[in-house]
Structure 1
Amino acid sequence: MKIGNVIRLAALVVLVLLLVRPELFSGFFGLFTKNNQPAIYNQGNLLDITLNHLAIVLAATVASTVIAVGLAIIVTRPFGAEFLPLSRSLANIGQTFPPVAVLALAVPMLGFGTAPTLVALFLYGLLPIFENTLTGLTNLPPAVTDAAKGVGMTGWQRLLKVELPLALPVILAGIRLSVVISLATATIGSTVAARTLGEVIIAGLLSSNTAFVLQGGLIVGVLAVLIYDALSALERWLMARTGQLGRTAA
């Protein structure tokens, strides 16, 4: 087993233990407390908070993926090419306004809680997925697309059976970037009462308890690394399956 895989496995084991049996780490986190502060976050269950954090990120990413991929498909068809500038402007909205500003605008309309956070993460995740999908669909091997036309495939058949499968690794790279950004950005959702790991960090900042800040930060960081690596491995597998890995290496 490669050293990198051993490190990832160890990180996963430590993460699971921290979420399921956080008291096992009280000695370590106790090093970062003072004046008899609690070493382990005690205002909620770390596992429940983490699962809720991941659920928010997943929901926002799915929504961003559906809209961004749909827009990219439309603008790469002959009938939708003229809408490329408009689609790119729409995808750029999330990057134009910082998530905090989106939250501030969304709260008066949607109220406090998860909804404003979902909106902010959805908008923030559009651009990388849209641009990667656009790149994947416009840089397909001409020989493959010509062969698909030669055997009589319709436009939608080529899209579903040839173009999207070949572009999938590039699309997945955009999704990977969006997920990692959302994992970190979701923490600010706790400022508007969304149940994310941000509440652990905020509780630590308000009480000057470094142990709480460290717990929230470590969980978010380890999750981001593990999910990034998992999606990277899936991307490489898809490229190998479609024969793109060897072509890229060559």
Structure 2
Amino acid sequence: MMNEQLLDSKFETEIFNSQIEMKSLFYNLETEIQSNISNLSDFAFESHTDLKQLIISTNVTLQDNLKALQTDIMQQLQQVTDQNLITQAIITDFKSDILNNLSAIATYMNNNQLSMKNNFSFTNSQITNLNTTMQTNFNQVIADVQNTNMNIKNNFTQTNQKIDTVNAQINAVVTNNQFQTQIDLLKQQIQNISVSVSISQSMTSDQYRCLMIAAWYGSYTARDNYFNSEQYLIYLTDSGCPLLKWW
């Protein structure tokens, strides 16, 4: 009888000790899970802040480049307009010179028909000089037009190069690995605690929903390469998610 009592007492003691040990293990597990959740919240906040700052900085740089490009294009278009006006003025002066020279020839011929008959060689010399002058003026007009066309071509070549540079910067932002790296790190943190979260029953539905929103938002931005803080705020407000306090 005494032996049975001792065995029962020993068995009860072992059960009691086992219960204490199990409670301690569950307490440690719950503490670790809460710590992981806290670490995830801190990491998600830091990642979100870094992404937001990176996007704001990139947008400012792109806007500055686009404004500078727009200013350059407007200046070059104004230069083209000015050069066209100069060319038109040169052509107008050239036409005026031709008309004046033709008028002078007609007047000279009308007033000096007899002299022209008696001294044709002098008249021929005058005409030769006039032709030389007209040819020189015409060559100058051609050179001015060609120079203007070359300037216009060079201006548009420079503009196209600047447009290509801005496009390359935009493509670099779209394909920038910094965004994907931040998102991958956040998703990895969520995966690291997924097993512990599934074991613990202490997590509230709001906390679980917050984690799902964080995971969904990471996939959303990675897929569309797009950051819309207003849509995110509306979603968090409608869901009543505690993540809203990060904003």
Q: Which structure shows the higher helix fraction?
A: 2
Coarse TM-score class (shorter-chain normalised): under 0.3
Q: Which has the larger radius of gyration?
A: 2
Tell me the TM-score normalised to structure 1 length: 0.26
Tell me the TM-score normalised to structure 2 length: 0.26
Larger RCO, structures 1/2 (Cα 8 Å, 6+ apart): 2
